[in-house]
Amino acid sequence: MTDSSSDAPKTPAAPNASGGQAIWGGRFSDKPAELMQAINVSIGFDRRLAAQDLAGSRAHAAMLQKTGIITSADAEAILAGLETIGQEIAAGSFPFREEFEDIHMNVEARLRELIGPAAGRLHTARSRNDQIALDFRMWVREACDRTAAQIRALQKALLAKAEVHAATVMPGFTHLQPAQPVTFGHHLMAYVEMFGRDASRFADARARMNESPLGAAALAGSPFPIDRSMTARALGFDRPAANSLDAVADRDFALEALAAATICAVHLSRLAEEIVIWMTPQFGFITLSDAFTTGSSIMPQKKNPDAAELVRAKVGRLLGSFTQLAVVMKGLPLTYSKDMQEDKVPTFEAFDALDLSLAAMAGMVADMQPVVDTMAKAAGAGYSTATDLADWLVRELDLPFRDAHHITGAAVKRAEQLGCDLPGLPIDELQALDPRITGSVYQVLTPAASVASRTSHGGTAPDQVRAQIKRWKEVLA
């Protein structure tokens, strides 16, 4: 996808419809070797850029007409031909042909078949270098918008589930060991925050990429009196890119979008892992319907959370795509090299995987049902209210926290010896540790009491959870 000169002549050498002279063939006597053709052709994947390519060509043709570079008659013929090509692509009847290498040359060849020599004027004052930079940038921009919308849908699914279960008690974990009781709603809201940051990363990336490379031509700009601001506005960009070399060489926009996608996939993978764990009989915290599970070919009792497992695995594909493009770009001198043709496949694959993962996760969140009694029972396991006992000693007996921590540790040890939990530890055992302890201490030793006490901003108390749900509903409205 590269031109060898900064500007094509007004009437470039024409490919014939039967696959004759290449668009760049004036310099060459022989056809490329079959292997060269095989490694060079990109139409198999860059056909996905057809809509962006047509949009860029329409904007370029309109600008060429307004600036007087081409006649109104030629511009009208070009625009009519592009409209026909768009209809053919939409109908699935467009003849994509490998002999024309890429989406740009396929469109131009078909345009020549439709309108004749006037088609050759469309490439005036542009190169395939700025053309592909434009098409790809527009595609990534649209992918960011699409992903942001999917993230919002997932956040809304999480919000709906969290609102129903704002007070449903479950164990909170550190090191995957019982730590302190939290609510299921609070746990889900943690992911709302994560995905909110993901959405903001895509928005930031989109803002930075929203400069048009069109008009940079091959690398040096154009001697024609083009209006780059006109084409930038027509294509929804904030401004034209300020440096023609950077405009055709830049793939930061794709790298940044892939970085945001990878982080988002990491968050999806963490939630998927929790769904897998929660589904095990050892936890039994949630159920998923048949819609998001599969069975075993040999074990009839199995109900596997395959959708979650597949989402969990997709992060490898996205991280691989980011790494692949970073490696492609890391040693390239300015400006364009054919290496950059390798930018599109990993980006397409990454966003395909992310689109599917976000949709699957939103479906699973809406589908999953917590097993409330099991969660509540587990919330009290592992002496999870020990910190509440220490806090009570600080508040009621005015002990330094480190002293309270030591007494609580001794209480846990004694409960282990007696085979009971903290709420079941007799008062005389507690008073043996500090005689000032009273029976009121038991009011803070249940998981529900622990959860209700965490009223600091962002805490797990149900009222705090509901406040955050309300805030996010307003943000996403």
Residue 270 burial class via C-beta count within 10 angstroms: exposed 0-12, middle 13-18, buried 19 and up: middle
Which of 4, 200, 289, 296 is labelled catalytic? 296
Tokens of 261: 């996608």
In single-letter form, the type of residue at position 131 comes to Q
Distance, CA of 454 to CA of 37 (rounded, Å):
66
Q: What is the largest CA-CA distance in the chain?
A: 101
Which residues neighbour 316 within 8 Å (Cβ) at sequence distance 6 or greater?
none
Residue 159: CB atoms within 10 A of its CB come to 22
Would residue 165 show up in a list of annotated catalytic residues for this protein?
no
Q: What angle, rounded to 10 degrees, do the helices at 344-367 and 128-164 form? A: 10
Would residue 186 show up in a list of annotated catalytic residues for this protein?
no
Query: 294 forms bridges with which residues in the sheet?
Result: 304
Closest CA relative to residue 358, chosen from 158, 132, 123, 203:
158
What is the CB-side half-sphere exposure of residue 262 using CA atoms within 13 A?
Answer: 18
211 phi and psi angles, rounded to 5 deg = -125, 140
| DSSP class per residue in 96-124 | --GGG-SHHHHHHHHHHHHHGGGGGGGGB
Q: Alpha helices of 293-385 — where are they, by DSSP H? A: 306-329, 344-367, 372-379
Distance, CA of 300 to CA of 284 (rounded, Å):
19
Buried (b) or exposed (e) across 106-134, using 16+ Cβ within 10 A? bbbbbbbebbeebbbbbbbbbbbbbbbbb
Distance, CA of 114 to CA of 93 (rounded, Å):
14
In single-letter form, the type of residue at position 39 comes to I
Query: 172 forms bridges with which residues in the sheet?
Result: none
Query: 182 forms bridges with which residues in the sheet?
Result: 170
Which of 18, 29, 93, 175 is labelled catalytic? 175
Catalytic machinery residues: 175, 296
